[in-house]
Chains A and B, each alone.
Chain A
Amino acid sequence: MSSLTGKSLNPVMNRRSVIASAAGLGAMSILAGCSSNGGDSGSASGDASFKIGTIGPLTGANASYGKSVTQAVELGCKDFSTKELPLVSKAEDDQADGEKAVNAFNTLLDWGMQALVGPTTTGASVAVAAECGNDPETFMITPSASSEDVTKGKDCVFQVCFTDPNQGVNAAKFLAEKYANEKFVLFYNSGDAYSSGIADSFKAQAAKSKLEIVDEETFKDDSATSFTNQLTKAKQAGATMIFAPIYYTPASVLLKNAKDMGYDVKMMGCDGMDGILGVEGFDTSLAEGLLLMTPFSADDEKNADFVNAYKDKYGDTPDQFAADAYDGVHAVVEALKEAGLGVDADPTEVAEKLPEAMLKITVDGLTGKLSWNDKGQVQKDPTAYVITDGKYVQA
Chain B
Amino acid sequence: MKFLKDKQTRHDFVTYAMCLVAFAIVFFMQSNHMIPRMIAGQLVPITAYIVMAISLNLVVGIAGDLSLGHAGFMSVGAYTGIVTAVALESVVPSDPIRLAISIVVGAIAAAILGFLIGIPVLRLSGDYLAIVTLAFGEIIKEIVTCLIVGVDSRGLHVIFNITGNSTIDDLHLLEDGTAIIKGAQGASGVSTYSTFLAGAILVMVALVIVLNLVRSRTGRAIMAVRDNKIAAESVGISVTEYRMIAFVVSAALAGAAGALFGGNFSQLSATKFDFNTSILILVFVVLGGLGNMRGSVIAAALLTVLPELLRQFSDYRMLIYAIVLILVMIFTNNPQLKAFFGRVKDRFTSKKEVAADAQ
Contact = CB atoms under 8 A, between A and B. Distances in A.
Contact of A28 (B189, B314, B316): B316
A59 B66 contact: no
B185 A127 contact: no
A196 B183 contact: yes
B320 A29 contact: yes
11 contacts: A4-B290, A10-B335, A25-B323, A59-B318, A92-B311, A98-B269, A99-B45, A106-B42, A126-B266, A147-B188, A190-B184
Given A110-B37, A196-B184, 9 more contacts: A13-B331, A25-B327, A28-B319, A37-B314, A106-B41, A123-B269, A134-B192, A190-B164, A192-B184
Main secondary structure of the interface of A (DSSP, over half): helix
B315 A35 contact: yes
Given A99-B45, A103-B308, A109-B37, A130 B191 contact: yes
B186 A123 contact: yes
A126 B314 contact: no
B56 interface: no
B240 interface: no
B66 A4 contact: yes
A32 B316 contact: yes
Interface in B320-341: 320, 323, 327, 330-331, 333-336
A191 B184 contact: yes
Contact of A99 (B60, B183, B192, B265): B265
A126 B60 CA distance: 35
A110 B188 contact: no
Q: Which of A9, A58, A92, A123 has the most CB of B within 10 A?
A: A123
Given A36-B312, A93-B317, A127-B266, A103 B38 contact: yes
A72 interface: no
A346 interface: no
Nearest to A186: B165
Give the contact-size bracket for chain B.
35 or more
B272 A99 contact: yes
Contact of A38 (B145, B189, B314, B335): B314
A215 to B, nearest CB: 11
A107 B311 contact: yes
Contacts of A32: 313-316, 320
A131 B38 CA distance: 12
A99 B264 CA distance: 9
Nearest to B183: A196
Given A9-B333, A130-B265, A21 B327 contact: yes
Give the bracket for the number of chain A residues in contact with chain B.
Answer: 35 or more
B42 A126 contact: no
Contacts of B327: 21, 25
Interface string B137-171: 00000000100000000000000000011011100
B272 A93 contact: no
A132 B334 CA distance: 46
A124 to B, nearest CB: 8
Contacts of A97: 272
Interface string A95-121: 001111011111101100000000000
Given A59-B318, A130-B267, A193-B184, A29 B313 contact: yes
Contacts of B320: 25, 28-29, 32
Contacts of B72: none
Contacts of A21: 327
A191 B267 contact: no
Interface string A1-29: 10011100111010000000100010011
Contact of B126 (A1, A59, A124, A204): A1
B286 interface: yes
Interface in A184-225: 190-193, 196-197, 200, 203-204, 216, 218, 221
A126 B184 contact: no
A10 to B, nearest CB: 8
B118 interface: no
